[in-house]
Structure 1
């Protein structure tokens, strides 16, 4: 286990920001997928809401390894633009060693777009976390893209704890 990995899972803020930064990069640029796996509990899940063949929204469940083999491989080999995300709001709730965060992020095609604030999509993530073994773990990360049908509530565009 790398020492820098442990530094990134000591606070909820660190692990959430790291989860966004970890997958960012230019097309063809390798990501540190070992680091990404380290953020998740061994039974962790990623769940995205996507349209099925009929255009109906449905949840898609992936393990971190499935995410890496499907989406990660595509980001590194097929994507024609970069991919970067940053958080723009969070609502946290914590009781003891369990936490739930609603984290809103925006996505960019390049670092230049990010610096200029030119996002192409926004997502709302529901992130469940557990603290044990002297660190935070992501148990699940569940997200849905913002659309005109599902606009982002103002409270999710602010930071509150």
Structure 2
């Protein structure tokens, strides 16, 4: 962005030679900053988000769970998912390696879509929130969301549980997901009682 701004200033000075460099800086730099701010605030998708999805923390968390859930072969509304995330949003999973170390797999929204579309074509996946712990400060919110994953919506027992750590921010008009970081239960780590109830 810095390189682009300097180039824009140079072009403006060359075209409008009767003006001083200082005048051109005054005119061009704020416009460039406004363009940059608009780019950051713009949805990751050209499609507008549903108002109900992004007007509240409850709405955007519910939309996240809803958009990834469905029966085997059921198309997911990936444009809806894109509209929930800030352009720089990430999805990250913590997993154990066989030798006992842990690895972080980081994905963009597009990475998540491409990696899971094939699996969702042949496998039912329904994930729902079981409990939530929320911390809020101004325009930022951290949601510790306990999840349960099932292959069918009516399955009595989930095949997996864990925590989705969801970071959100509000731009004055709507909520955005910045990051989702998750860790599943395993034989060495079970969910403590405090994360099995909302508070």
Fold equivalence (TM over 0.5)? yes
For the pair 1:8 / 2:50, whether they are aligned, the reply is no
Which structure is higher in helix share? 2
Secondary structure of 1:99 counterpart: strand
Paired with 1:18 and 1:63, the residues of 2 have a C-alpha distance of 18
For the pair 1:128 / 2:172, whether they are aligned, the reply is no
Secondary structure of 1:14 counterpart: helix
Q: Which residue number in structure 2 is paired with residue 47 of structure 1?
A: 92
Instruction: Tell me how large the CA RMSD over aligned residues is.
Output: 1.6
Larger-Rg structure = 2
Paired with 1:46 and 1:83, the residues of 2 have a C-alpha distance of 17
Q: How many residues align?
A: 153
Q: Which residue number in structure 1 is paired with residue 192 of structure 2?
A: 153
1:98 to 140, 153, 159: 140
For the pair 1:89 / 2:131, whether they are aligned, the reply is yes
Deviation at 1:50, TM superposition (A): 2.1
Paired with 2:169 and 2:82, the residues of 1 have a C-alpha distance of 15
1:111 to 153, 178, 189: 153
Deviation at 1:75, TM superposition (A): 2.8
Going from structure 1 to structure 2, the CA distance change for 1:26 and 1:142 (only over 3 Å counts) comes to: same
Q: Which residue number in structure 2 is paired with residue 64 of structure 1?
A: 109
Paired with 1:102 and 1:59, the residues of 2 have a C-alpha distance of 18
Q: Which runs of 5+ in 2 are unaligned?
A: 1-46
Which structure is higher in strand share? 1
Residues 65-86 of structure 1: per-residue CA shift (max 9 Å, x gap): 1100112x22333x3x310011
Deviation at 1:56, TM superposition (A): 3.1
Q: Which runs of 5+ in 1 are unaligned?
A: none
Paired with 2:111 and 2:136, the residues of 1 have a C-alpha distance of 29
Secondary structure of 2:157 counterpart: coil
Q: Which region of structure 1 is more displaced relative to structure 2, 95-104 or 151-160?
A: 151-160
User: Structure 1 length normalisation: TM-score?
Assistant: 0.88
